[in-house]
Amino acid sequence: MHAHIKQRIESIISNLDQLPSIPDVASKVLTMATDPDVSFKQVAEEIAKDQAITTNILKLCNSAYFSKGKEITSIDRALVTLGLKEVKDVVVVAATKAILNKTIIGYDLAKGELWRHGLAVGILSKKIAQQKNRKDIADIVFTGGIIHDIGKTVLAIYVQNTYKDILDTVRKNGIPFQQAEKEIMGYDHQEIGERVLAKWKFPEVLKAIVQFHHQPDRAPGEFKPYTSIVHIANTICLMAGIGIGSDGLYHELNDAAITTIKLTDQDLETFYAEIPEMMHQAKELI
C-alpha cells in the first residue's frame, strides 16, 4: 500500500471541486425521468435552458442510432417521437462525451478510447436488456454502461505512478486488476466512480452500476440485474478490444451475472460476434 497516494486520493474525493462536473441538465433530466407525474413540457423546458446542449441533442436524435426515420427539429418533437426514456439517453450521450473523450494516462487509453468503450458498453447493455426480457431497464443500463468507468478519469494519474506495483500484485496474488488497485492505492476505480456520481446527484441504481460493475453479485439485491448486464457487456467489449488498456483482460467474468440474466453460451458468443455491426450503427456518436 502506498499511504501517500491513498491520502492524495482521499483529499481529492473529499473536495468536490476536484471531481469532474457534468452539465446540470443531465442530473435534472435523469431525476425527472424517475417521476411518473412529470410532463414532456417540463422536460423540454429544462433542456431548453442549456442552448449548447440542445443543438447537440437534436443532432443526436437524427443520428442513425437514435433516429426513428422522421427528421426531428425540436425537443418537443423528440419527446413525442422517441419518448422520454430515449431522449434521456440522448441527453446522457451529449452530457458525458466531453468528460470521457480524453486521453487516460496510466490506463494507457488513447484519446477517445474511454468514450468509445463507454458507448459500446452502454449500447450493448441496452441490447442485452432488450433481448433478454428486460426492456424496462434498457435505458438505465445504457446510461450506466456509458459512465461505468468514470472513476478511471480521476485515478489515472495515480495508476500511472503505481502501475508496476499493481500489475505485480495481480500476478503474484492472482487477483483481478481492480482488486489490486485497492490494495496498492487504497481505492479502486469503481469506488471513485461512485463518488463522482454522488457529486452529480445521480440515482442510486446508477451509483450501484458504477460501484459494482466488476463484482455484480455484491450489489444490493434489487440492483443485481442492472449490474449483471453492464458487467457482461463490459467483458464482451474488452474481449473485442474496445477500450482495452493497461489493465487488459485482468478481470473476471462473473458466473452469477450470467445466471441472473439467463444467458446461454450461444447468447454470449452472438453478442460478441455482433460487435462490429453494433459499432458501425453508432459511428456518428463516436
Using CB under 8 A, pick the residue from 36, 69, 221, 276 that binds other proteins.
276
CA angle 181, 97, 241 (to 5 degrees): 55
Asked if 4 interacts with other proteins (CB under 8 A), we say: no
Question: Which 82-111 positions form the footprint of other proteins (CB under 8 A)?
Answer: 108, 110
Q: How far is the CB of 222 from other proteins (least distance, A)?
A: 23
Measure Cα distances from 138 to 129, 152, 164, 275 in Å. Answer: 5, 24, 38, 18
With CB under 8 A as the contact rule, which of the stretches 127-135, 136-144, 195-203, 273-281 interacts with other proteins?
273-281
With CB under 8 A as the contact rule, which of the stretches 20-28, 69-77, 183-191, 266-274 interacts with other proteins?
266-274
Asked if 37 interacts with other proteins (CB under 8 A), we say: no
Instruction: Report the alpha-carbon distance of residue 210 to residue 17 in Å, rounded.
Output: 20
Using CB under 8 A, pick the residue from 51, 69, 164, 172 that binds other proteins.
164
Strand partners, 104: 109
Q: What are phi and psi of 209, to 5 degrees?
A: -60, -45
What sign has the CA pseudo-torsion 76, 82, 83, 89?
A: negative
Nearer Cβ to other proteins, position 92 or 275?
275
Using CB under 8 A, pick the residue from 240, 261, 282, 285 that binds other proteins.
240
Asked if 172 interacts with other proteins (CB under 8 A), we say: no
Nearer Cβ to other proteins, position 44 or 244?
244
Residue 104 · residue 163 · CB < 8 Å? no
Residue 94 · residue 60 · CB < 8 Å? yes
Residue 262, judged by CB atoms within 10 A of its CB (0-12, 13-18, 19+), counts as exposed
Asked if 254 interacts with other proteins (CB under 8 A), we say: yes
Q: How many CB atoms lie within 10 A of CB 135?
A: 12
Instruction: Report the alpha-carbon distance of residue 168 to residue 187 in Å, rounded.
Output: 17
Asked if 162 interacts with other proteins (CB under 8 A), we say: no
With CB under 8 A as the contact rule, which of the stretches 59-67, 70-78, 199-207, 254-262 interacts with other proteins?
254-262
Asked if 184 interacts with other proteins (CB under 8 A), we say: no
Instruction: Report the alpha-carbon distance of residue 80 to residue 200 in Å, rounded.
Output: 27
Using CB under 8 A, pick the residue from 251, 261, 282, 285 that binds other proteins.
251
Asked if 248 interacts with other proteins (CB under 8 A), we say: yes
Asked if 249 interacts with other proteins (CB under 8 A), we say: yes
Asked if 122 interacts with other proteins (CB under 8 A), we say: no
Q: How far is the CB of 236 from other proteins (least distance, A)?
A: 8
Nearer Cβ to other proteins, position 44 or 105?
105
Contacting residues for 148 by C-beta, under 8 A, at least 6 apart: 118, 121, 193, 209, 210, 213, 230, 234
Residue 3, judged by CB atoms within 10 A of its CB (0-12, 13-18, 19+), counts as exposed
Q: How far is the CB of 254 from other proteins (least distance, A)?
A: 7
Nearer Cβ to other proteins, position 102 or 199?
102
Residues that bind other proteins (CB under 8 A): 108, 110, 113, 163-164, 167, 170, 176-177, 235-236, 238-242, 244-255, 258, 265, 268-269, 272-273, 275-276, 279
